[in-house]
Structure 1
Amino acid sequence: MKKTNLFIFLVLPLFCLAQSTLKLKGKLSDGTTPLALENIVVSTPEGKIVSGTITKDDGTFEIKISKGFYKIKITSLGLMEFEKEITIEKDTDLGLILLAGKTNDLNEVIVKTKKRTVEQKIDRLVYNLENNVSTTGGDALSAINTAPGVVVQNNAINILGKGSSRVMIDGRIVELSGEELNGFLKSISASDIKNIEIITTPPAKYDANGTGGLININLKKGTRDSWKNTTTLSYDQNKYGIYTFRDNFFYNKNKFRFSASVNTKSGHRNSEENLALYFPDGLQQMKAQLKINEENFSGKLAVDYDISDRTTIGFQYLNDRNNPNFKSNVAINNYDTENTPKSIILNNGFNDRGIGNQTYNAHLLTKLDTLNRKLSVDVDYFKYDSKFDFDFTTKTYTPDMTFLSTNQSGRNISNQNIENKSLKVDMEHPFEFVNLSYGTKISFTKSNSNLQFYDNITGTPILDLTQSNEFEYYENNQAVYINANKEINDQFTIQLGIRVENTQTEGYSANLNQRIKNNYFKLFPTFYLTYKKNENNSFNFNYGKRINRPRFDLLNPFRVYINSNSYSEGNPFLKPSYSDNFELSHSYKEVLRTSVYLNRITDGYGVIFTSDPATNTQVVTRENYYKGINYGVGESYSADITKWWSTENTLYLLGSKTKFTSGINATPTNGLQLSFSTTNTFSLAEVTKLQVDYTYSSPVKSGLYTIGYMSGLNIALKQNLFKKSMQIAFLANDIFNTNYLKDFVSVVNGIKQVYSQNDSSRFFKVSLIYNFGNTKINIKQRNFGNEEEKRRL
């Protein structure tokens, strides 16, 4: 009862806000002079007039209107009529509208508009890919890595200064992370992406999980009353070669919309790892050379149907299968305290891996009335399965390669299956005094890990029960949220929200006969305030509380061998961490953006690289071991320098202050980091574009780790052929081979470890894209009342 009263107390102020009104404006001209006293009529898609005005002497007009989907119509004697369906979500400027004389050759008006590469909204940054040359022929992961303020490092997708971020597809959370998430994103074609939203402080509508915010990938839906097909062939050359084939098809006519895509990949990539461990009795130096299979097959199918002018139903299915097998050749050189070679250990093995996931979604969207009240229902099912079969043998040699002994031979088999079922209901409910949205979500997750270790030193596999285990994990989550938006006046807009999540977890280790339960009830408030000082300057402040729940595989307490001298083990006692995120930003003419942020983290958990000096073995564990503050300031500048040169630039100064809260035997390190990126696009001709990208991150000390610098120079060229129906693109990525993880240092229990990994950072790609279709399918001549729903779906 106390929790209920508290919830009512917190959300009650949201209903006290007033109705949001927005501005719709533009300017009318016949090409030479402004058009005064012309009629501007705004109506619903069904034809009901809701507002109108006439143009002023200078041809300008301005209409105050609520959020919604409308039809605007302009009539002028002797000139062409202007009619446009438009969604009003914020103040909208239609720009200069030219009305030409009525002739048999002219059947439409020209609206001069240009989509910006980066658009700032009250709670997110929207990144439009269409101007980026380097993503041509690429995948979703490479596209995310080009987004402003986002970096992909060591299998983690990070919003700079925020930490690891979760990913959504069309507003739906992808229940994957790390290497598995990256593999899934590589199966999505960049040409299938409409835009990418960087949500540093997610509104209450979205799941509270993920301290680093959310990255939402919006996929294309196809142009109305048309069909289109895009076929892409590409070849990547690193040390090895990778062939990729993608095909995306869109069909949209009357009440029916359909899209399908298929992606296949075949080849290999090279990965190099180096690790130095400084034990009391001398240095141990490891070098691994991996040839990783890039075999992949994935596809997407989506169908939407308008069962009435107000109601749409749909279904979406995604399937992704990977088989990233690799042969493992690991050489370990051991030295004494005087750096004299003692022995060489060769670890040879084969890792047979299979990864697959399937995503099903059924949705319904209905407009309840002409007041734009909308109800949406989503039913989702996600299934993930992973197979890990590592067979290895370790032999020891003298420094001159004389065989001494076979010291280990084993087989490590791990299978993991994850199922997630969820039901989500969202309501948009505009009142005269407030724009309100609210909803609920119920989610059920089950994870099963089966780990078996066989000792094969005698030649006969023997199951080692002390290193085998079956681990089951259940997580149920119930959430409700409410969000309210209010335009107080022409300058101030406020948005408040709160999300309540109730979570129950249970983990069970069969081998240990150990059951761990956890129940917690948490409130996650959000707050946004926008101040528009004038046409050129606007300010935004936001705050949000987030949670970061451990990945399912991190909770399994038993070990998985990386090689004979290194293994990883989970921790069933891992707790979620929490963060309070504050950000203040300023935008000047939507060209120069400045942001200042601070994130406070409690119960922070992460990877700890420890070691066993008795056996000279590296041990990778996870703990809740720190609390701290991340802070920084960021600048981004985007502009068209000339008609043929456009530029996008970011500069971040990042810092942290970390304090260890567990008994870990280490000293925290803190320092500042500089991160810079620039993207410059040159129009060499009407059909030719050249793009030059450069990124740099300075060395940094943060918490338990010190990380070396990273930098990368990329050059991309795109040529349009046959009236843009065909494109050929070239990409030289990381030309100087410097954009990889290096000098990753940690010191725990007095043992220093230095690690580096280069996962084919330098490569060359050539892509051929062919587009064909029909943009004018014959349709029934009628008014559509569901364009807003189609955009949202």
Structure 2
Amino acid sequence: MKKIYFLLITFLTSMALSAEANYGRQTDVNGTVLDEQRKPIDYATVGLFKATDSSLVKTAMTTPDGKFNFPNVAAGSYYIKINMMGYQIYKGKSFTIAVSSLTLPEILLIANSKTLNTVSITAVKPLLERKADKMVMNVENSSVAVGSSALEVLQRAPGVTVDQNDRISMQGKQGVLIMLDGKQTYMSQADIANLLRNMQSAEIETIELITNPSSKYDASGNSGIINIKTKKAKSGGANGSFNAGMAYGKNLRGNTGLNLNYRSKSVNVFGSYNFNKGARSNRIDIDRISKGTDITYFSQKGEDDRDFENNNFKVGADFFLNKKNTIGILATGYLNSGLEKAYNKTLIGKTFSQIDSVLNSNNTQKSSYRNFAYNLNYKSVLDTTGQELSADADYSRYQGKDHAELVNELLYPNGLSVKPIGRLRNNSPSTIDIKAVKVDYTLPINKTTKFEAGIKSSWVETDNDLRAEEWKSDTWQNDVRRSNRFVYDENVNAAYANFNKQFKRTSVQLGLRVEQTNSTGNLITTNNIVKRSYWDFFPTVFVQQTLSKNNQIGFSYGRRIDRPSYDDLNPFIYYLDQYTYNKGNPFLNPQYTHNFEVSYTFMQKYFLNVHYSKVNDAITQVILPDAEQKALYQTNANIAENITYGVNLTIPVKIAKWWNINNNLNVFHLSFETPNLAGQTLKTGQTSYQVRIQNSFIIVDGLTAEFNGNYESPLVYGTLNMQSRAYADLGLSKSLLNKKASLKFAVSDVFDTNRTRLKSAYTGLDYSLYQKNETQLFRLSFSYRFGKNEVKPARRRSTGTEAEQGRMKN
């Protein structure tokens, strides 16, 4: 494998050098933008235009020193144009490039003294943008996203799917790492789904889809990273925003939020609070045939309703010690609670029509979850070349409390009791403490070469205590079969280095991340201890080649790891009823992935991505039979090999000035193979596809609309054989009050067709499952921005507790 890496890198580098030699002479154009008091103007937009036809060549933003740079500009005649809020538009005289480096005379912007009564803006930022290393979804401009949760918005992102258990996949692969503002969430999939379900779209600015991350990121997440960027204010002074909304389907839900920001030369203070309250419903039907010494038929129909109340908050400050040094503090958290009531009725017999008994199950669960996370950050700009050093210290504490009571009543078909009513209850408090420190360093060697390096250490302590009781002799008694305590400790130490080189038409990035892991899982009740200690190496390679003005091709490779989430390792059993349950697996091993991608971009708007990945010991959700209890249970297991390959194609079409369509097609083949899964060989595979068509309309100035359609073909994932599903969304958005406010209306799942149907792909297991969540919702939302319109953003920092929080459990 090392020889293959060496030959590949040698080949790609030789291609880059050859392309550079043939491209022709190019140079850098530099300049400085000042105001009338000769003070630097930062974040001004600078455009480089051809003098011959006024076509835009490149754009840049000025730095805090007012400087801008256009690298690798071909010989010719050009002019500069600068836009900045509060200043008159600047258009410079044309100039000719004929030297190796050109520095333009200082440019002075004149303050705009005119008062603008009305500003009419008809251009709309595209819903999707493709950048060098990621796809960006601009959520804040979407009317369909109005009143939606972050989880519902993710379902509309190209190549992303969310299954019936809220597991997130990208390009057909599970194991996505979710980040918020560049910070890892350190939560389990269940907790991530809960967090995203309670985050409103009004809080989100963009969603970044990073399918093959560099070595700078934690090596976890075999299918890549989804980074959700929340809204930030953009300039000096004070501003904020307020939003409120409601949605109605089968149940009513509402949300409201407030976002505030104040910035001066020496400090930036910011904070936000969001409240969400309501209810949602879910229906699940399972028909199953248990085959053993005798055949038993089970027909189960269930309904559950959950009332929820969620509070999410963030508060922080950045202190600008001087132009080069900044220290910041940040506190985030949530306080969530819920009450869930589920009713299941299971008909049991020799056939589906010949019933011997009926099992009625009532399950009531009260839950509360709280998380407080604290970050201390320091950033220093060491010199004018861009040399930077940043450090983070983090602490996060998660506490969860669940109280569940299950009542089982087994009856004859005539309604008489077969045996006394059975009652079980669980109290399962859990605590997770996370500490982390990390340091990142950036060194620009020259204008075309950059070196990055960093170190990180994290410590995680989890404590899950399941106290199960059974009602016997008119009192609650400890159930020793199910009561248990599971403690898990983990320490991960990591270091990385990235080397970036920009040639005239080619960019190359080589990286290596090294991680050392020590973990101990202790099932205290049975004194079952699992210890692990191992080293891992994660190389990355990125090559981007510009073939011509409108053609660009890229290649990337990366090796990644996914450690089991804390709830997956927890062996506790959770019952839907006595014949349907979920349990953890303390013997899960980490999974390792090799990711290969080739991308092609045409005209900066047509995108083609070809990908291949191989996962060893793939951590996979499976549904298996419990022959002894005639039950069906869900767990996670290591599948020896999982191979995925496919193509993702994005084609935007402009029908008219007022109508744009973005089409996305994702075709992929998934296969799973393992010699022994619960005593049987598993070998499954199928080619599937997903189609997403997003229509954007400008009806009149200030009034826009969207209509989106989605289709997912049948899919085989491990032991699950999932049938197709389709749904459509509709939205309208109207700007008000000089574009400071907006009113949005949307209907999600317009035709109420979004549901899950699946069967078993495991030999000998015969069941069919139907699940319908409350997906058809009518939403209305209002938002209002106040204060200064342009305030520089609060820093988006990447904390040290990113990879661990993504593995927490509700």
The separation in 1 between residues aligned to 2:353 and 2:683, in whole angstroms, is 29
Partner of 2:157: 147
User: What are the residue-to-residue correspondences of 1:687-698 with 2, within 5 Å?
Assistant: 687-698=702-713
Amino acid corresponding to residue 325 of structure 2 in structure 1? T
Give 2:534's match in structure 1, choosing from 516, 520, 525: 520
Offset, 1:244: 1.3
User: Residues 306 and 391 of structure 1: is their aligned pair in 2 closer, same or farther, counting only changes over 3 Å?
Assistant: same
Offset, 1:129: 2.0
Is residue 2:478 matched to residue 1:470? no
Give 2:90's match in structure 1, choosing from 82, 86, 106: 82
The separation in 2 between residues aligned to 1:431 and 1:536, in whole angstroms, is 30
User: What are the residue-to-residue correspondences of 1:197-346 with 2, within 5 Å?
Assistant: 197-280=208-291, 281-337=295-351, 339-346=353-360
Amino acid corresponding to residue 121 of structure 1 in structure 2? K
Offset, 1:42: 6.6
Amino acid corresponding to residue 526 of structure 2 in structure 1? L
Alignment RMSD (CA, Å): 3.8
Q: Deviations over 1:169-217 (max 9, x none)?
A: 1211101132211221234332332322111111111100111211112
Amino acid corresponding to residue 178 of structure 1 in structure 2? Q
Is residue 2:497 matched to residue 1:482? yes
Amino acid corresponding to residue 138 of structure 2 in structure 1? N
Is residue 2:471 matched to residue 1:456? yes
Give 1:176's match in structure 2, choosing from 182, 187, 200: 187
Give 1:128's match in structure 2, choosing from 138, 142, 145: 138
Equivalent pair of 2:401/2:428 in contact (CA under 8 Å): yes
User: What are the residue-to-residue correspondences of 1:291-690 with 2, within 5 Å?
Assistant: 291-337=305-351, 339-406=353-420, 408-432=422-446, 434-489=449-504, 491-664=505-678, 665-690=680-705
User: Residues 60 and 120 of structure 1: is their aligned pair in 2 closer, same or farther, counting only changes over 3 Å?
Assistant: closer
The separation in 2 between residues aligned to 1:653 and 1:283, in whole angstroms, is 37
Q: Indicate the structure whose relative CO is greater, using CA pairs within 8 Å and at least 6 residues apart.
A: 2
User: Residues 55 and 705 of structure 1: is their aligned pair in 2 closer, same or farther, counting only changes over 3 Å?
Assistant: closer
- Secondary structure, in 3 states, of the residue corresponding to 2:428? strand
User: Residues 260 and 678 of structure 1: is their aligned pair in 2 closer, same or farther, counting only changes over 3 Å?
Assistant: same
User: Residues 448 and 768 of structure 1: is their aligned pair in 2 closer, same or farther, counting only changes over 3 Å?
Assistant: same
User: Residues 447 and 338 of structure 1: is their aligned pair in 2 closer, same or farther, counting only changes over 3 Å?
Assistant: closer
User: What are the residue-to-residue correspondences of 1:697-712 with 2, within 5 Å?
Assistant: 697-712=712-727
Report the TM-score when normalising by structure 1: 0.86
Offset, 1:374: 0.7
User: What are the residue-to-residue correspondences of 1:32-181 with 2, within 5 Å?
Assistant: 41=32, 71=66, 82=90, 105=114, 115-153=125-163, 154-181=165-192
Offset, 1:747: 2.9
The separation in 2 between residues aligned to 1:300 and 1:589, in whole angstroms, is 40
The separation in 1 between residues aligned to 2:502 and 2:388, in whole angstroms, is 20
Equivalent pair of 1:268/1:292 in contact (CA under 8 Å): yes
User: Residues 364 and 705 of structure 1: is their aligned pair in 2 closer, same or farther, counting only changes over 3 Å?
Assistant: same
Equivalent pair of 1:209/1:549 in contact (CA under 8 Å): yes
The separation in 1 between residues aligned to 2:284 and 2:565, in whole angstroms, is 24
Amino acid corresponding to residue 668 of structure 2 in structure 1? L
The separation in 2 between residues aligned to 1:525 and 1:439, in whole angstroms, is 15
- Secondary structure, in 3 states, of the residue corresponding to 2:774? coil
Offset, 1:515: 1.4
User: Residues 608 and 467 of structure 1: is their aligned pair in 2 closer, same or farther, counting only changes over 3 Å?
Assistant: same
Offset, 1:339: 3.6
Partner of 2:788: 774
Amino acid corresponding to residue 90 of structure 2 in structure 1? F
User: Residues 251 and 186 of structure 1: is their aligned pair in 2 closer, same or farther, counting only changes over 3 Å?
Assistant: farther
Offset, 1:357: 1.4
Offset, 1:542: 0.7
Offset, 1:598: 0.5
Q: Deviations over 1:666-687 (max 9, x none)?
A: 5422111120011111111112
Offset, 1:75: 9.5
The separation in 2 between residues aligned to 1:686 and 1:274, in whole angstroms, is 48
- Structure 2 unmatched ranges of 5 or more: 69-78, 82-86, 93-106, 799-810
The separation in 1 between residues aligned to 2:343 and 2:352, in whole angstroms, is 27
Query: Quick check: 638-647 or 236-245, which moved more?
Result: 638-647
The separation in 2 between residues aligned to 1:111 and 1:769, in whole angstroms, is 18
User: Residues 597 and 306 of structure 1: is their aligned pair in 2 closer, same or farther, counting only changes over 3 Å?
Assistant: same
Offset, 1:510: 1.0
Offset, 1:66: 13
- Secondary structure, in 3 states, of the residue corresponding to 2:151? helix
User: Residues 126 and 399 of structure 1: is their aligned pair in 2 closer, same or farther, counting only changes over 3 Å?
Assistant: same
Offset, 1:581: 0.5
The separation in 1 between residues aligned to 2:793 and 2:371, in whole angstroms, is 31
User: Residues 47 and 741 of structure 1: is their aligned pair in 2 closer, same or farther, counting only changes over 3 Å?
Assistant: same
Offset, 1:115: 4.6
Amino acid corresponding to residue 537 of structure 1 in structure 2? N
Offset, 1:447: 0.7
Offset, 1:362: 1.5
Q: Deviations over 1:247-305 (max 9, x none)?
A: 22222232322222111122211111112221132310111111101211121112112
Equivalent pair of 1:481/1:498 in contact (CA under 8 Å): yes
Give 2:757's match in structure 1, choosing from 727, 742, 748: 742
Equivalent pair of 2:241/2:258 in contact (CA under 8 Å): yes
Offset, 1:144: 2.5
The separation in 1 between residues aligned to 2:33 and 2:389, in whole angstroms, is 24
- Secondary structure, in 3 states, of the residue corresponding to 1:142? helix
The separation in 2 between residues aligned to 1:265 and 1:682, in whole angstroms, is 30
- Secondary structure, in 3 states, of the residue corresponding to 1:184? helix
Q: Deviations over 1:709-744 (max 9, x none)?
A: 111111111122222232221111112222222124
Partner of 2:802: none
Offset, 1:137: 3.3
User: Residues 111 and 689 of structure 1: is their aligned pair in 2 closer, same or farther, counting only changes over 3 Å?
Assistant: closer
Aligned residues: 745
User: Residues 457 and 742 of structure 1: is their aligned pair in 2 closer, same or farther, counting only changes over 3 Å?
Assistant: farther
Equivalent pair of 2:675/2:681 in contact (CA under 8 Å): no
The separation in 1 between residues aligned to 2:200 and 2:797, in whole angstroms, is 21
User: Residues 133 and 60 of structure 1: is their aligned pair in 2 closer, same or farther, counting only changes over 3 Å?
Assistant: closer
